[in-house]
Structures are given as structure tokens and as C-alpha cells.
Structure 1
Amino acid sequence: MKANQSETIRSFLAIELDQELVPKILDVQKEFKKTNSNIKYVPSQNMHFTLKFFGNIDLDMVEDISAAVLNVIRNYSSFDLNIKKCGCFPNKNVIKVLWLGLDEGSPIKDLQKDLDKEFKKLGFKKEKNFISHLTIGRVKSPKGKKEIRNAIERLEDVEIGQMTVSKICLKKSTLTPQGPIYEDIKVFELN
């Protein structure tokens, strides 16, 4: 008789984007669309700040992850994020990901570091060089690289605005040919 195999889900922990900031972010995407480059844009309903990407986990890990999150966030009250700056990963010579960043003094780094310590106890690898960012597009081919680089430089000091973070979400990611579909598994309210 076969042992019961646990169901797995692809998951991550994230801060959702305040939808009031979407029009300004769509304006930034429009600037990149003018480059006529092969970029796959992130739809606004999927935009978020990733705190931890878990990958495929067993469903029974959800409770352990939730306990770890609750253990950390009891020390955190809601806080503001100031979204500004445009950049790319890994660098301007090899552009793969277009992103918007945050003010330097953002508490998100401390939150992520504290969460990472707890997740390490559960067997997850620690993040190396965590950079808080909001992915707005993925470059699919080097076509138009110079134009993309010029757009990044033009938008380097873009100011998107401020949002208040009052919750973080454990999300399930289902990959489809049309792009990923995200669903909340658990929502954690900050103090």
C-alpha cells in the first residue's frame, strides 16, 4: 500500500501593492512600451513586494510557516513604504527584470531579515543580498536593450508614492500559460 503523498503548492510571502498607486506604475510601464522591446509586463493585480519565495512546499508546512510569521510580526506595527526609483536586475548590461524600489530607511529589510531567521529554522535557505523591489516587467529578448537602458536612466528618480503596510500575505502561485494566478492562503495583520 502506498503512503499518502502530501499535496504541494508553489508559494511565497508578500506585501500587496496599494491599488491607488497602480496608475503611476502603469505610466512607468507605458514608458517602457515606447521602446518596442520584448517585455512581458506584470499585471497590476499581481504586483507585490516578495518577502520570501518558498517554491513548492507541502501543504502541511503552511501551519509552520504561519507560526513563524506570527512569531515575527508581533514585534511589528503597520509601516509606510515610499515607492521610488526604477532599476533592473541583474545589471544595465544584461537586463532581465525591470523593477521599482523603495526608500533606503524602509522597515521592510528588518522585517525580511527577522522572517528569514525563522524560516531558516524550518529548513529554508537564507536570502542573499535581499533587495526590496516591485517587479513591473521581464525582458524576454535583448531586442531594444539600448532603448530600455535609456528608459531606466530617464526613470531612475521616479516617485510613485507612499503606501501603508498593515498586512502580509502567504500566497499560492499557480502557473498558467497566461501567467501566474495568485491566491491568498493566509493573511497576517500587523499591530
Structure 2
Amino acid sequence: MTDAVVRLPHYTLAERDEITGGGADPFGVASAGLTWRDKDVHFGLRRQGRLVAHAGWVRVPLSAGSERWHAAGLGGVAVAPDLRGQGLARLVVTAAMEHARDAGDLAHGLLFCLPKLTALYGRMGWRVLDDGIRVEQPAADGPVPMPLRAMWTPLGKGARWPTGEARLHSLPM
């Protein structure tokens, strides 16, 4: 059987629960106390009519020092618990980032994850953002340090991440 990733016209809470089995904190990040931004573009994989994997992305504004740019903010990566370890995350993440690359003007992908997922994304070519990043939060007087691991991936040939602490000029994805 060949797994085909498709672009989803929408992605609802019910669809997320179909993948994750529901629960108050399916991504394990509630303790970070962050408000998250919705993604605009969604990719999913179905098996026997069941949605079993998802990844979404949204265009996000960034800066570091005097440099300003936009990146593809990846988020909502989910794989059904009974199907993990089969490469489904790679399939939906790759589809999302290929779509972002095709947008033509985005040099990077950016994601935030739990430290235990760093190796998973590293195997997909993502790199840890060592200089840190600040993100917007509605209850804060300014950007706050992102408590989760930040990672990036090049979308264009020769793309590099600017040096210094970055700022995401939006809610995290």
C-alpha cells in the first residue's frame, strides 16, 4: 500500500482528535503556557478512510538584528499513536515544506518542539536554532523567550539562518 499525502481543505479539532485520540494536551506542550497561532495550509494522510497524520504551515514574519524575512512556520505535526515509527511524520512534514518551498519566497522552515523530538526532526534535516528566539504572546508586554526547542530547515539552496537571537513577530505555530 502506498501512502499518499493530500492537501486538506481544512483541519478541525475533530480531525486532530481523530489522529491523536483526543485529550486536553495531545502535543504535550500545555505546560509551556503559550497561545498558539493556527496554520493556514494543511496536509494529511488517510488510511482506510481514517486521518492518521497531519502537518500544517503558516507564513510567519521574523527578524534577527537588522535582518527581516518570512519563513514557513510548521506546526500541528501529529501521527496516530498506533502508527508511529512508520515514517508518516516525515511524509506529512515533507509535503508541507515542499508546498512552502514552492511559494518561492520563503528561505526557511521553522518549528518548535519538545526536546525529545529533536532527533526525529534532525533525521528530517532540521537544525537546532542555538541563538534562541522570542515569540509574541497576548498577555506579555513584549516578546517572550520560547521555552520549547526551536529548529529550522533551509527551503532554498544555500539558505542560512541569520546569527543572533531571532524574533518571531507573531504567535508561535
TM-score, with structure 2 as normaliser: 0.26
TM-score by length of 1: 0.24
Higher relative contact order, chain-length normalized (CA < 8 Å, sep 6+): 1
Higher Cα Rg: structure 1 or 2? 1
**Of Structure 1 and Structure 2, which has the larger fraction of its residues in helix?**
1
